[in-house]
Chain A
Amino acid sequence: MNSVTFTLLIWVGSLLGGFWGSLVGLGGGVVVVPLLTLIFHVDIHYAIGAALVSVIATSSGAAAAYVREGYSNVRVGMFLEMATTTGALVGAALVLYLHASVISIIFGVVLIYSAYTSMRPLPEASQDVPPDKIATWLRMDSTFPEGDRLEKYHVRSVPTGFGIMFVAGVLSGLLGIGSGAVKVLAMDKAMKLPFKVSTTTSNFMIGVTAAAGAGIYLSRGYIDPGLAMPVMLGVLAGSFAGARVLSRMHVGVLRFVFAVVIAALAIEMIYSGFTGRI
């Protein structure tokens, strides 16, 4: 296989991964790593390097659209980014000390969790919560557009959210993913942010978190230009196409099929890890 064919195949695979991922609300990274390691037999270090770069591309691209809609909470995002960037630095440093098999197994477990949450969207948090002392001091309470008017909401449990965000950052730096599922968990379940606000703010933070990990990846030599090029261009194009058709499609069945595929890939990642094939 010459490099043009190889690059085109990777590009098409990443395009499909990015497309499916954005339809069901998973980032491109979680699809790209199994694709590269299991199907193209790429070393996991190069795979997570290429994946993390594509995560930045889709996050920044999507965040550009979201911030203008007035859903994302910039204060919550910036405050929690202290936790996620610290976590990402720790995670990226851990890659050096963990065996590729261990990384593969952790990846599989996180993948199963992501597939599970994508199947069952978190229920809308009830907004009958009183103001919280820390959140008030940090001026986090805000509004979001609901129909013609602005709906007010209060933010809760800042320390718990901060802690979960640190874990999300570690996973992002360790696995080359955006770990949006964990970020939404922190903001939705713990901090009681409305669903629209938590998903958009999470996307907003993913780029900064990934950039922190990517700096370390770059200096360690995990980011290969020849591989990252088709992955980044493919995931970016795919996720934009996915976002375009999303509003016109019924994704119920697709979501189920995708979750099954993701779960199968996850089991394969775990199995490959245990048998030492990765």
Chain B
Amino acid sequence: MSIDLERTDKRIDDIMGLLLRTGVIIAASLVLLGGIVYLVRHPAPVNYRTFQGEPLQYRTVSGIFHGATELTGRGLIQLGLLLLIATPVARVVFSVFAFLYERDWKYVIFTLIVLGLLMFSLFGRG
């Protein structure tokens, strides 16, 4: 029983590692692509000295998805950053299933609580 569990743990670790790496690589590629488009189209300097806050299209999940379909540089970067933020979230989702598979109910609940907090952060208020 405990040997089986350890082997399952190891396999879960492997998949988790792959998931994290893939997420980061795709996100970084999107950010790089968007960055090139952005710099080619906007050679004018931007002022970051005073805080204005981003326009709404770069602030909400739905806004970012909508903005990215217009294929602007900033829209693509923001989509890449959103994907980057989603990578650890995907890891937590994966952990829910991993603990379910191991029938470790306590940890299923803990993981769901963490997932709920992350969802609140991403989708709360709107």
Contacts and interface: CB of A to CB of B under 8 A. Distances in A.
Interface of A: 1-4, 6-7, 40-43, 45-46, 53, 56-57, 59-61, 63-65, 67-68, 70, 74-75, 78-79, 81-82, 85-86, 88-89, 92, 138-139, 207-208, 210-216, 218-230, 232-233, 236
B13 A211 contact: no
Interface residues of B, number: 68
B38 A64 contact: no
A233 B35 contact: yes
A3 B46 contact: yes
A42 B13 contact: no
Interface string B41-55: 011111011111111
Contacts of B121: 85, 88-89, 92, 211-216
Contact of B88 (A42, A56, A230): A56
Interface of B: 9-10, 12-14, 16-18, 20-21, 23-24, 27-28, 31-32, 34-35, 38-39, 42-46, 48-55, 58-60, 73-75, 77-78, 81-82, 84-89, 91-92, 95, 104, 106-107, 110-111, 113-114, 117-118, 120-126
A68 B27 CA distance: 21
A143 B124 CA distance: 39
Grouping DSSP codes into helix (H, G, I), strand (E, B) and loop, the A interface class, with mixed when no group exceeds half, is: helix
A61 B25 CA distance: 9
